[in-house]
Chain A
Amino acid sequence: MTTKLLEVSKLSVKAADKQILQGIDLTIQSGETVAILGPNGAGKSTLARAIMGLDALRCSGKVLFEAKDITKLSVDTRARKGLFLSYQSPVEIPGLPLNEVLRAANDARKKKMRLTDFQLKMSEILEELNLSPFVGTRELNVGFSGGEKKKLEIAQMMMLEPKLAMLDEIDSGLDIDAATKMSQSLRNYQKRTNIAYMIITHNMRILQKLKVDRVYVIKSGKLSSTGTKKLLDEIQQNGFKNV
């Protein structure tokens, strides 16, 4: 089943006098996986942040989510509607346990969950991601390796059950085996929930187990090409020169 989940039109982002993104059009359906590729500094992370509602003052254009205009909505409102952003470098918050963040996030969604159910669900997710069962009680991202922080981002995604997850460089910091495993976990989760992914990556390995529906290439803030999974092979062979 596919329904139009996200529709971005003419999205532009400016920082000071510099145009970082210009006139991006993009559509994602429920259950789809879309890959965003492009050279460093092309504006890929900016795109995800703009869709999430961060840096709103610098954005123009329109974002529709489930056919509703969310362009003026705050970050947290967008999150509660089902958008999720996994950060390239997740922030550390000393003294604040991950579980507390997740429980507050559930509260914000008026989602009543008994503590035991919460813990059960959390422990299943942590096991799936090969994380220690105790990470939920540890301070958010404090003292974790780069790879563990990325897994924690996915754990949060799985707990919060968004409709669209934008995963920014989710594979950086993961070794080859862990990246393959992560790819498989994302695919399994998608099959169960019909979640849509927008995956920003430099590394094709994270896409390996996923059914990639479309590939977008962004260069210098503009959409330079759109294609199918075949485009990935082209980029792997020849880089971004001709795409």
Chain B
Amino acid sequence: MGSKMSDQYRGLSRAIVEKISQRKNDPEWMRELRLAALDVYNGMPMPKFGPDLSELDLDNIESYVEASSAMVDDWNKVPQEIRQTFEQLGIPQAEQSGLAGVGAQYDSELVYHNIQQAVADTGVVYMGLEAALHSNYAEIIQDKFMQLVPIDDHKFAALHAAVWSGGSFVYVPRGVSVEFPLQSYYRFNAPGAGQFEHTLIIVDDDADLHFIEGCSAPKYNVANLHAGCVEIYVGKNARVKYSTVENWSKNMFNLNTKRAIVAEGGKIEWITGSFGSHVSMLYPCAILDGNGASMEYTGVSFAGQKQILDTGVKVEHRAANTRSIINAKSIAKDGGINTFRNVVKITTDAKKSRSFTDCQSLMLDSLSKSETIPFFDIQTDDAEVAHEANIGKISTQEIEFLMSRGLQEDVARSLIVRGFANDVSKELPFEYAAEMNNLIKLEMSENM
């Protein structure tokens, strides 16, 4: 094993938080932030909405998994077992073929981080967040870390802030377009542990970035917890595309927080494929803070047997002429439960703003459940807001048609579901689209 499990990090106490902070050689402000977050965490109730989290025994979650190796920028120096895991996931190969940089985290710690020299030469910074805390960017980080997502945002944001470990820092200077995506991959291997990586992305005015986040974990019989946090600052007329394909094992509680703030004329695009996990609560949020800022969300979630995927989008229109488009698809099978919550807030300053939501759910049997819960808070009278939702089943005509072309029934169903999710896969780079299609195929072939 590349990581070491021990009881010294089990549960959550002041001593454990101090120990993590010390091990990471935190600056004093970070140590204080962690401890303050711990207090907030202890004083905060569990979320009052969404799925039942009582199976999640926080006193028994390993909040930190010690790494036995240091982070490197050469795959050959990554311990063999860990390297093989990432090779099976295709990460080093993808780095060769079309990524501007790659970060790879194994449990609590990064094992690899590298950026192509040509990209680094344009001033783009892509490094481990912990390393960045001790670099020239320390002040920027102090200024932005857990500001977009305050430590008292919700209980798991507080937990994250107290024990966060690993994750990436990205800075794209003004006017720089990063031609190829950057990718951080989080692999979760230790049973009964928590993963709490933090991603901080700052894209300056007129710059452009595509960031890909990949996640996966093997299956264990004990509950695992993922409570990462992503904070994205999008500058004036800048564009950030944030793509995620999450493939968690089905014992995972995925309680992740993602938030972006977008300046005048800027744009954030969320592309999300949510697969696996036992319970997911994931609601990417965008704050449209400047005139003409926009958000686009395209997501698909797949809930199978014993899975509850509670997802959604939050958008706050704070300035005039802001736009948001939400295109959500969900698939439920074998008793899986999908809930989609979208919260659209349009403040008094957000004159002539527009928000469109389209939620489509596909139910593959009568055991499964799908629900759409929209919430609108509109404080101007000239906003244009539309919401459309429908829940459907695969039509027998579609299956018949494909079968009459010679496709077996299960292949036909799987193709129809892939077609349903096509809005998301066509936004992803080729390898990811292929991975997502493959995940759909796997989910479809999994029987009760």
Take A100-B415, A101-B415, A104-B415 as given contacts and tell me if A95 and B407 are in contact as well, using a CB distance cutoff of 8 Å: no
A105 B406 Cβ-Cβ under 8 A: yes
A95 B422 Cβ-Cβ under 8 A: yes
Write the residues of chain A forming the contact surface with B, with a CB cutoff of 8 angstroms.
52, 54, 74-76, 79-80, 84-85, 87, 90-91, 93-96, 100-102, 104-105, 107-109, 139-140, 156, 160
Q: Using Cβ atoms and an 8 Å threshold, which residues of chain B touch A91?
A: 395, 397-398, 400-401
A85 to B401 Cα, complex, angstroms: 9
* B403 contacts A by Cβ under 8 Å: yes
Q: Using Cβ atoms and an 8 Å threshold, which residues of chain A touch B411?
A: 104, 107-108
B404 A96 Cβ-Cβ under 8 A: no
Q: Using Cβ atoms and an 8 Å threshold, which residues of chain A touch B420?
A: 94-95
- A76: contacting residue among B404, B415, B419, CB under 8 A: B404
Q: Using Cβ atoms and an 8 Å threshold, which residues of chain B touch A95?
A: 418-423
Name the CB-closest residue of A to B424.
A95
3 cross-chain pairs, A with B, having the tightest CB-CB distances, nearest first? A95-B422, A96-B419, A95-B419
Q: Using Cβ atoms and an 8 Å threshold, which residues of chain B touch A76?
A: 403-404, 406-409, 412
Report B379-402 CB contacts with A as 1/0, cut-off 8 Å: 000000000000000010110111
A28 to B421 Cα, complex, angstroms: 42
B422 A75 Cβ-Cβ under 8 A: no
Other A-B pairs, 20, CB within 8 Å; known A96-B422, A101-B407: A74-B403, A74-B409, A75-B400, A75-B403, A76-B404, A76-B407, A80-B406, A84-B404, A91-B395, A93-B398, A93-B401, A94-B422, A95-B422, A96-B415, A96-B419, A100-B418, A101-B415, A104-B402, A105-B407, A108-B408
Q: Using Cβ atoms and an 8 Å threshold, which residues of chain B touch A94?
A: 419-420, 422
B:393-448 near A, CB below 8 Å: 395, 397-398, 400-409, 411-412, 415-416, 418-423
A62 to B409 Cα, complex, angstroms: 24
Name the CB-closest residue of B to A85.
B404
A54 B395 Cβ-Cβ under 8 A: no
A76 to B423 Cα, complex, angstroms: 28
Name the CB-closest residue of B to A80.
B406
Report B175-203 CB contacts with A as 1/0, cut-off 8 Å: 00000000000000000000000000000
A52 to B402 Cα, complex, angstroms: 12
Q: Using Cβ atoms and an 8 Å threshold, which residues of chain B touch A140?
A: 419
Could you jot down 5 A-B contacts, CB within 8 Å?
A84-B404, A93-B401, A108-B407, A108-B411, A109-B406
A52 B398 Cβ-Cβ under 8 A: no
Q: Using Cβ atoms and an 8 Å threshold, which residues of chain B touch A79?
A: 403-406
Name the CB-closest residue of A to B409.
A76
Name the CB-closest residue of A to B421.
A95
Least Cβ–Cβ distance between A153 and chain B, in angstroms: 10
**Residue in B405, B406, B411, B422 with the greatest tally of chain A CB atoms within 10 Å:** B406
Q: Using Cβ atoms and an 8 Å threshold, which residues of chain A touch B409?
A: 74, 76
B406 A93 Cβ-Cβ under 8 A: no
A52 B416 Cβ-Cβ under 8 A: no
A75 to B396 Cα, complex, angstroms: 13
A102 to B407 Cα, complex, angstroms: 9
Q: Using Cβ atoms and an 8 Å threshold, which residues of chain B touch A107?
A: 411
Report B134-173 CB contacts with A as 1/0, cut-off 8 Å: 0000000000000000000000000000000000000000
Name the CB-closest residue of A to B395.
A91
Q: Using Cβ atoms and an 8 Å threshold, which residues of chain B touch A90?
A: 401
Least Cβ–Cβ distance between A206 and chain B, in angstroms: 21
A74 to B403 Cα, complex, angstroms: 9
A170 to B270 Cα, complex, angstroms: 44
Least Cβ–Cβ distance between B399 and chain A, in angstroms: 9
Report B287-315 CB contacts with A as 1/0, cut-off 8 Å: 00000000000000000000000000000
**Residue in B400, B404, B409 with the greatest tally of chain A CB atoms within 10 Å:** B404
A160 to B401 Cα, complex, angstroms: 14
Least Cβ–Cβ distance between B301 and chain A, in angstroms: 16
A90 to B408 Cα, complex, angstroms: 19
Least Cβ–Cβ distance between B231 and chain A, in angstroms: 33
Q: Using Cβ atoms and an 8 Å threshold, which residues of chain A touch B400?
A: 54, 75, 91
Q: Using Cβ atoms and an 8 Å threshold, which residues of chain A touch B422?
A: 94-96, 139
Take A87-B401, A90-B401 as given contacts and tell me if A104 and B407 are in contact as well, using a CB distance cutoff of 8 Å: yes
Least Cβ–Cβ distance between A222 and chain B, in angstroms: 26
Q: Using Cβ atoms and an 8 Å threshold, which residues of chain A touch B402?
A: 93, 101, 104
Q: Using Cβ atoms and an 8 Å threshold, which residues of chain B touch A101?
A: 402, 405, 407, 415
A108 to B395 Cα, complex, angstroms: 21
Q: Using Cβ atoms and an 8 Å threshold, which residues of chain A touch B395?
A: 91
A79 to B405 Cα, complex, angstroms: 6
B406 A139 Cβ-Cβ under 8 A: no
Q: Using Cβ atoms and an 8 Å threshold, which residues of chain B touch A109?
A: 406
Name the CB-closest residue of B to A55.
B400
A156 to B406 Cα, complex, angstroms: 11
Least Cβ–Cβ distance between A102 and chain B, in angstroms: 8
Least Cβ–Cβ distance between A142 and chain B, in angstroms: 10
